[in-house]
């Protein structure tokens, strides 16, 4: 597990920074929830002033911001999904290509290990970092919920966390595949971040315009829409299946391509 340990140590600082930032944002946001509930009528009047298309795009028409879980879905869920996805792709996009860019691939492959093991340990490091980040998100949210004198349905909250974790892994798997195929780390990171931002943009556009609802299938953010999960108290099995297929194909493609890749040393 030499490669795994090296990657964990190398990315520890980045994981810590992202965890602290997200934890701070979550706690700060949840701390103002009691003020929202104290002046519910004013909040309802404020929300009613938004255009219907805007409310549809962000699920405001289906989420009750007066409930703690609705507040979480509207104010926090998009931050944990978006920022967590950015962290995931930045982490995964550099995992493989950096060895060639930093000229360390010759030393790495001179060791008595196979290319498949190199990928396996790097993949495990990516998954470990993502899981840790999501555990931090979950624990901080549970702590933040104590600001409110209100119980949260743990099953539904758990589904939101599982959906977020699954989406982070999906983006990471795609970025890892790009890292194996492409050579320049900066280009890989730019493309991976572009995919995240485009996916988020498509989720907003598909919610605003009825005629563009088909774009839902091209946006992972819509796959774990908090309004759908909270109202149905379940994850959409079709969307979960698509994400699992993308993860499996991306990981399979990474192993297959890297084992045959002509690596410049």
Each residue's pLDDT tens digit, 250-264: 999 999 887 776 655
- Global pTM reads 0.88
Specify the higher pLDDT residue, 171 or 203.
171
pLDDT exceeds cutoff 90 at 102: no
Whether the per-residue pLDDT at 137 is higher than 80: the answer is yes
The predicted pLDDT at position 134 comes to 96
Among 73-87, 102-116, 131-145, name the one with the lowest average pLDDT. Answer: 102-116
For residues 188 and 178, give the distance between their C-alpha atoms in angstroms, rounded to a whole number. 6
Q: What is the pLDDT of residue 106?
A: 58
Calculate what percentage of the chain has a pLDDT beyond 70: 80
- Nearest 5°: the CA angle 147, 151, 155 is 120
Burial 117-151 (b: 16+ CB within 10 A, else e): ebbbbbbebbbebbebbbebbbebbeebbeebeee
Q: How many whole angstroms from its chain centre is CA 33? A: 24
**Structure tokens belonging to residue 57:** 């795009």
Question: 44-48, 71-75, 145-149, 214-218: which has the minimum mean pLDDT?
Answer: 44-48
- Given this model, what pLDDT does residue 210 score? 63
C-alpha distances in Å from residue 171, one per residue of 85, 159, 227, 248: 6, 18, 22, 12
Q: How confident is the model at residue 41 (pLDDT cuts 50, 70, 90)?
A: low
């Amino acid at each position: 597990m030499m490669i795994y340990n090296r990657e964990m140590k190398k990315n520890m600082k980045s994981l810590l920074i992202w965890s602290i930032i997200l934890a701070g944002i979550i706690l700060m946001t949840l701390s103002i929830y009691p003020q929202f509930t104290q002046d519910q009528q004013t909040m309802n009047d404020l929300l009613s002033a938004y255009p219907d298309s805007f409310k549809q795009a962000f699920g405001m028409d289906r989420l009750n911001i007066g409930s703690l879980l609705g507040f979480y879905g509207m104010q926090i869920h998009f931050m944990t999904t978006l920022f967590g996805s950015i962290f995931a792709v930045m982490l995964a996009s550099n995992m493989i290509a950096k060895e060639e860019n930093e000229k360390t691939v010759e030393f790495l492959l001179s060791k008595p290990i196979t290319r498949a093991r190199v990928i396996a340990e790097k993949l495990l490091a990516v998954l470990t970092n993502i899981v840790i980040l999501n555990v931090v998100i979950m624990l901080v949210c549970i702590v933040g919920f104590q600001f409110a004198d209100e119980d949260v349905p743990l099953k539904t909250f758990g589904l939101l966390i599982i959906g977020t974790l699954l989406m982070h892994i999906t983006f990471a798997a795609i970025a890892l595949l790009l890292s194996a195929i492409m050579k320049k780390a900066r280009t890989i990171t730019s493309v991976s971040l572009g995919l995240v931002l485009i996916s988020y943009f498509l989720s907003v556009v598909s919610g605003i315009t009825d005629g563009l609802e088909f774009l839902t299938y091209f946006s992972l953010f819509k796959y774990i829409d908090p309004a759908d999960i909270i109202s149905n108290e379940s994850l959409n099995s079709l969307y979960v299946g698509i994400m699992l297929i993308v993860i499996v194909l991306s990981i399979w493609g990474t192993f297959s391509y890297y084992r045959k890749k002509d690596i410049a040393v």
